[in-house]
Structure 1
């Protein structure tokens, strides 16, 4: 049976950020920690070894696959900073038009640094993800 590798842990978010080698990425991680915490009202938790997540929800697909995930989050990776928002939310694409310099994946938005983006749009993306997931998963 498939087992999720990315789950909430008891690891320290601050300790994780302090171990980010690149000082600029570390500074951006602290900025993002403040932005995500203030915008969501959720306490930051480590999800797996490298994702800082906020809130959680339980999902179940038609296939029967189910699990828990962070509502939103980010990870200061070596190459880029990964931002995690709700997948499948069409409003995300509209917000990203004014976001600033980024690339996208299925559920991730990648940025080089916080200075490249519009923080107000980031807050709107975070809020939209929370709303979308609360509407999709009422126990969120």
Structure 2
């Protein structure tokens, strides 16, 4: 399970973004950094090699007690991935209005921020963070 391997570390978020090779992903990452800082009210922390996380939550399962990022994003080669940890069932209205995106279990894939409605993205992130804070112990 990737979550058990990916941990917060002392990596420099600004340096990571500055080194993103894809120019559009790098520019989008700067915009997302500002948005996530505003919405989460938590500092940006590198998780593993390529995820910028904001806050964390604790959960338990059969393997024990774990900690994972509350929300975050990663400027990847194919797209930018935004992490909505509880999935998208509660956010179908926002997803429908967001624009050109794809979703998987807890990942929202965006090719370019210019193809989505940034106000809707902000609403989605706010709702997701509030929901996670109600469900879990968050820091």
Q: What is the CA RMSD across the aligned residues, in angstroms? A: 1.7
Q: Which has the higher strand share?
A: 2
Shift of 1:58: 0.9
Show structure 1 runs of 5+ residues with no match: none
Residue pairs, 1:36-47, within 5 angstroms: 36-47=36-47
Show structure 2 runs of 5+ residues with no match: none
Number of residues of Structure 1 aligned to a counterpart in Structure 2: 138
- TM-score, length-scaled by structure 1: 0.91
Q: After the TM superposition, which segments of 4 or more aligned residues of structure 1 sit over 4 Å from their partners? A: none
Residue pairs, 1:95-134, within 5 angstroms: 95-134=94-133
- Contact 2:100–2:115 (8 Å) recurs in 1: yes
The corresponding residue for 2:12 is 12
- TM-score, length-scaled by structure 2: 0.92
SS of 1:35's equivalent?
A: helix
Q: Which has the higher helix share?
A: 2
Distance in 2 of aligned mates of 1:3 and 1:90: 21
Residue pairs, 1:1-140, within 5 angstroms: 4-61=4-61, 63-88=62-87, 90-140=89-139
